[in-house]
A = this chain, B = another copy of it.
Amino acid sequence: MTTYPLRLAMVGGGPGAFIGAVHRTAALMDGAFTLVAGALSSDHKKCQERAAEWGIAPDRAYASWQEMLTAEQALPEDVRAQVVSIVTPNHLHHEVAIAALDAGFHVACDKPLTTNSENAEAIAKAAAKSTGLFLLTHNYTGAPMVREARELIAQGESGPIGTVRKVYVEYLQGWLAEDLEASGQKQAAWRTDPKRNGPGGSLGDIGTHAHNLAEFVTGQRITRLLGSRRSFVDGRAVDDDAMALLEFEGGADGMLRCSQVCVGRENGLSIQVFGTKGGVEWRQEHPNDLTIYSADEGPVTRRTGNGYLSALAQSSARVPAGHPEGYLESFGNLYLEFADAIRTGGPMPDHLPSIEAGIRGVQFIEQVIASDDAGNAWA
């Protein structure tokens, strides 16, 4: 059995990046990983600066991800990186992922998986052939109370929710309500550039989270959707707002909305699911609360860290009830369980987001766009 900490290399995550630092903290926080190498920026100097800041040895701060993969493979087995984290803009995901998988690395890749279905399928093929495991960091699936919701719904008619009827999911932000990309802000710049971000703006950035959350929590796939998208800010090349009606394989239906022009909203991902017997509601900004509705008693607020929760929810918390866990901890749960699968050589647990979820996420973007292009027809 491989021992901790696992050696991690990162592609992306240079100065000004957001998600690279998140992956680093998520990987480090439980002591299961140590960050040993990186191709952190297309600018080698910036890579070296960040590497120094992050305690990566200078000779493992590479000029490119290609160089990194080659050089790391050449290192002794007990020194070279075992896992590659991909935290670049979306358009680079597939190339790096395929190369890393082909080279036998385990891969953790930020979402969305890539920018189109073709590339997504190519990653899936590479993963199928590789000895490396693959993790897609749909981080909200790591939140204890999201997992509790999933477990409750999975009980079906014998559980408190029953058969799912309605799914309302939304992801509302306000940070792109004005033309932020014009200011050169790095996050806004690439996320509104279809070349780097892919064709879906808000759809790719946050809509895929909402889509994934709906499928994860219900345990059901969306079979049909009717979508609409829009750019509220003049001159923006991608959508900054979208809406969709949804149908699920189990007969439920629902609504999805995502927006980046809801001024003053920070990171408003939330989901409500109602079944024949009850309902659940989760709000990302207060992630340790899960509201459970029933017909016979007032709403119950289940909370992270308590003994009354499902085994999965319990094992997803680090500290006792009342000690809030947040965004980084839910992200860390994915990394920790990924590490555990690597360490034990075991399969990835079912609840970890897989390439299949990634493919579905890319299809979601494509289908909303197709529906919108067809005058809001079902797709």
Contacts and interface: CB of A to CB of B under 8 A. Distances in A.
Interface string A359-379: 000000000000000011010
Given A287-B324, A295-B263, A24 B18 contact: no
A77 interface: no
A375 B28 CA distance: 51
A320 interface: yes
Q: Sort A-B residue pairs by CB-CB distance and give the 7 closest, nearest first.
A: A264-B293, A267-B322, A266-B322, A324-B326, A323-B327, A29-B29, A326-B326
A177 interface: yes
Contacts of A5: 55
6 contacts: A177-B295, A263-B277, A263-B279, A297-B308, A325-B328, A376-B376
A33 B347 CA distance: 31
Interface stretch (A78-86, A107-115, A191-199, A253-261): A253-261
Contacts of A30: 25, 28
A232 interface: yes
Contacts of A288: 285, 326
Interface in A323-365: 323-329
Given A261-B274, A302-B298, A324 B285 contact: yes
A246 B182 CA distance: 30
Q: Is the interface of A mostly helix, strand, loop or mixed?
A: loop
A28 B288 CA distance: 23
Interface in A239-257: 241, 243, 245, 253, 255, 257
Interface string A75-116: 000000000000000000000000000000000000000000
Interface in A286-306: 286-288, 290, 292-303, 305-306
Given A226-B376, A284-B324, A298-B302, 10 more contacts: A31-B35, A31-B55, A34-B34, A166-B259, A174-B279, A245-B376, A267-B322, A267-B323, A298-B308, A375-B378
List the number of copies, as a whole number: 4
A211 to B, nearest CB: 16
Contacts of A173: 322
A183 interface: no
A324 B286 contact: yes
Interface of A: 3-5, 18, 21-22, 24-25, 28-31, 34-35, 54-55, 162, 165-166, 168, 170, 173-175, 177-178, 226, 228, 230, 232, 241, 243, 245, 253, 255, 257, 259, 261-268, 272, 274-279, 284-288, 290, 292-303, 305-306, 308, 318-329, 375-376, 378
B298 A303 contact: yes
A135 to B, nearest CB: 19
